[in-house]
Amino acid sequence: MVTAGDFRNGITFDDNGVVLQVIEFQHVKPGKGAAFVRTKLRNVMTGAVIERTFSPTDKFQDARIDRKEMEYLYNDGDLYYFMDTETYEQEPIGASLLPDSFKFVKENDKCKLLSYNGKVFAVEPPMFVTLEVTDTEPGVRGDTATSAKKPCTLETGAVINVPLFINTGDVLRIDTRTGEYIERAK
């Protein structure tokens, strides 16, 4: 059990069947009246953000979010298949549960599947991936002083902006959280 007085950023709890995660909290002790806890909460299943106030003595059941690393195999229409590398069981996941950053994931990459009570509600791709450039305009030799960018298509089909010196066939390291080019891979 967790009380509202024990809230900290990142704590997850079950509020009448709804799993909420604390994004921000503030303990307030007004001059008159009882103390309360002002919070900003995220519904873990839907991603919706709400603001609520609680009495510090309100009690909630802890919600344990399971994160399991699985290997992305392939997609078949709207279903994306992931495999548990220990048991070799496959888990089909609907396209609606995949984040926008999943466009950087290629087959055989490891992802984390987040679940609550056995029900998968989200997929976390790796933070950094290494992808090959399949299409871009020819690079400009020596143009590293400016911060000019050009579009390039990666092997997964994702399009990002890269510096002018990047060529087709280069292998790049990409941050999936921001979708930005970091460096050329060695």
User: Tell me: the pLDDT tens digits for 123-158?
Assistant: 889 999 999 999 888 866 665 566 788 899 999 999
Average pLDDT value for residue range 106-118: 88
pLDDT at 4: 86
**Does the predicted model carry a pTM greater than 0.85?**
no
Question: Do the domains spanning 66-124 and 128-184 agree at the CATH topology level?
Answer: yes
Strands (E), 5-124: 12-15, 18-28, 36-43, 49-54, 59-62, 66-76, 79-83, 90-94, 110-116, 119-124
| Proportion of the chain above pLDDT 70, given as a percent | 96
pLDDT single digits (tens) 3-51:
888 888 888 898 888 888 898 999 988 888 889 999 999 888 877 899 9
Q: Where are the domains of the chain?
A: 2-62, 66-124, 128-184
Distance, CA of 47 to CA of 114 (rounded, Å): 13
* Cβ count within 10 A of residue 144: 10
- Given a cut of 70, whether residue 86 has pLDDT beyond it is yes
Domain 66-124 of CATH type 2.40.50.140 = yes
For 128-184, CATH number out of 3.40.718.10, 1.10.10.10, 2.40.50.140, 3.30.460.80 equals: 2.40.50.140
Distance, CA of 40 to CA of 20 (rounded, Å): 10
Q: Which of 47, 48, 41 is nearest to 7 (CA)?
A: 41
> What CATH number labels 2-62?
2.30.30.30
| Proportion of the chain above pLDDT 90, given as a percent | 33
pLDDT at 97: 82
CA distances from 184 to 31, 39, 169, 172 (A): 58, 42, 11, 4
142 contact partners, CB below 8 Å, separation of at least 6: 165
pLDDT at 150: 87
